[in-house]
A = this chain, B = another copy of it.
């Protein structure tokens, strides 16, 4: 069964203010800047800030397939260069729109977090 079942039909992972799955906007952000391979994303994700040294390959490839199923990204096999064939992922307009939805969610979370941190500060 699809582990993304029960999500809304737009494929937007930011529905209902869920605060996890930062991997989705992180991937969209990196692909917005320029197209990349999955393996590249695995190395680049930690630069976004939500990940430590490495990101889980399983999570990345499953998320990429989910994003592709929902027309957020497109891919094509790239047989040039050395090493095994790789898929080059490119963000679509829907993907960009989706990241902008995420942006609103992230800002609202940012506000809540700032507020909570201020509250704790006042305790001391």
- Chain A interface residues (CB < 8 Å from chain B): 17, 19-20, 22, 25-26, 29, 32-33, 48-50, 52, 99, 103, 106-107, 109-117, 119-120, 123
Contact = CB atoms under 8 A, between A and B. Distances in A.
Contacts of A17: 52
Number of this chain's copies in the assembly equals 2
A78 to B, nearest CB: 24
Chain A interface, DSSP helix/strand/loop, else mixed: helix
A6 B17 CA distance: 27
B123 A116 contact: no
A22 B120 CA distance: 13
A25 to B, nearest CB: 8
B120 A48 contact: no
A116 B32 contact: no
A119 to B, nearest CB: 6
